[in-house]
Structure 1
Amino acid sequence: MDRNFPRALSLVLKHEGGWSDHPADPGGATMKGVTLANFRRYVKPDATKDDLRKITDAQLATVYRRYYWDAVHGAELPDGIDYAVFDFAVNSGPGRAAKYLQGVVGVVQDGRIGPATLAATRAMMRATVINDLCDKRMKFLRSLKTWPTFGRGWTSRVSGVRSEALKMAAPNVGEGVKSKPSMPAPSKPAPAQHPAEPAKGLHFILQLIAKALAALFSRKEH
């Protein structure tokens, strides 16, 4: 998703570091992951290595968006997958990143992400695509002649990409989940009701009647 570009770029830059002009690096001189060739292509046609060293944040964003993010249709890929493909593109080229994504989702690997690739990607579980893509990426990197030189850094990078991409792909906690209505506490059973006792006044009256009858029968006997 396009809203993920700033976050994805900040994560990419953590792995790219600063200035590099390693003789074993086929990309040549780079500053924060931007090669001199791409800097000349998108920012300053006659740039020197010194110009590249002084690249601004705005210039960085321009190169990364136009050459990598837009090339792999990052704005149209699902959350997490956008970052995983973007970082792959920065590290190994947009065409290769696109082909490997297409291999994961089962469409023609022509290196150009279009409607068929996007539809197939959206139809799969995001975590599955991310994990498969990172696995295939590692297999590719291990096959390179420069693996002995850069292998440890690449391993750390892909591991970090996998972890962050899965976080981005995970739905928000509680999203789409309706809270259950609270159940009322069970009411306590009402205490058993006992039959009402005869009123004390009635009992007294009955006693008086009984005594009166006893006295009456006693007189008749005498």
Structure 2
Amino acid sequence: MSIHTLIDDLIDREGDYVDHPADRGGATRWGITTAVARANGYHGAIRTLPRAVAAAIYESVYWRQPGLDRIATRAPALAAELFDTGVNMGTATAILFLQRALNALNRGQSDYPDLALDAAIGARTLAALDAFLARRGGAGEGVLVKAVDALQGERYLSLAERRPANEAFLYGWLAGRIA
């Protein structure tokens, strides 16, 4: 699946303009907050953010900058999951989920060394991913996707437990973001 298809699907899920009173991120359009739009050069009203501008932000900030394009050449389903997780929780969190999963799945470092949890897709993270996929074959990618989903689900539950206002979003998070 291409990044453009992923972005189109994401924008369709996120919807048009939303300003939910319990959302600490404030008003969004196409899932882009005012703060993210401003940080990326858009200065109009968030209510009128063009879809094409949102798509460009998603590709730049949530796909290319964190290096998910490099993950996609190795494991496209994993890259798609990390993209969606990164949009909702931040790219650093998504990459930390991947690094934690790779560390837990390296069989006591017999397949590859543990990674520093640095939230960066660098040479060591890519080497660990390559080693994991070589060792586990085609099923390995699916296992990594499940691990990221599990960490994401736990985080959603924790967010709702810590801040009851987040319960307004929990069902949608679990239904729409966890495979």
- Normalised by the length of structure 1, the TM-score is 0.65
- What secondary structure is seen at the aligned counterpart in 1 of 2:76? coil
- What secondary structure is seen at the aligned counterpart in 1 of 2:12? helix
> How large is the Cα RMSD of the aligned pairs?
1.6
Equivalent residue letter for 2:93: R
Deviations 1:76-125 (A, max 9, x none): 11211111000001001111111111111112211111111122223331
Count matched residues: 154
Q: Distance in 2 between matches of 1:57 and 1:28?
A: 18
Partner of 2:10: 12
Q: Distance in 2 between matches of 1:115 and 1:27?
A: 33
Partner of 2:128: 120
Deviations 1:139-177 (A, max 9, x none): 011000244211110011123xx3xxxxxxxxxxxxxxx
Instruction: Give the gaps of 5 or more residues in structure 2.
Output: 104-114, 134-139
Deviation of 1:29 after TM superposition, in Å, equals: 1.2
Segments ≥4 residues shifted beyond 3 Å: none
Partner of 2:170: 151
Matched, 1:70 2:68: no
Partner of 2:30: 32
Choose from 68, 78, 81 the match for 1:81: 78
Equivalent residue letter for 1:17: G
Contact between 2:17 and 2:47, CA under 8 Å: does it hold in 1?
A: yes
Contact between 1:72 and 1:85, CA under 8 Å: does it hold in 2?
A: no
- Normalised by the length of structure 2, the TM-score is 0.79
Q: Distance in 2 between matches of 1:15 and 1:66?
A: 19
Q: Distance in 2 between matches of 1:116 and 1:91?
A: 25
Partner of 1:205: none
Q: Distance in 2 between matches of 1:95 and 1:61?
A: 20
Q: Which moved more, 1:26-35 or 1:62-71?
A: 62-71
Instruction: Give the gaps of 5 or more residues in structure 1.
Output: 163-222
Partner of 2:106: none
- What secondary structure is seen at the aligned counterpart in 2 of 1:109? coil
Partner of 1:138: 153
Partner of 2:109: none
Q: Distance in 1 between matches of 2:141 and 2:78?
A: 7
Deviation of 1:70 after TM superposition, in Å, equals: 1.8
Q: Which moved more, 1:20-29 or 1:127-136?
A: 20-29
- What secondary structure is seen at the aligned counterpart in 1 of 2:2? helix
- What secondary structure is seen at the aligned counterpart in 2 of 1:80? helix
Q: Distance in 2 between matches of 1:13 and 1:7?
A: 10
Larger Cα Rg: Structure 1 or Structure 2? Answer: 1
Q: Distance in 1 between matches of 2:27 and 2:65?
A: 22
Bigger proportion of residues as helix: 2
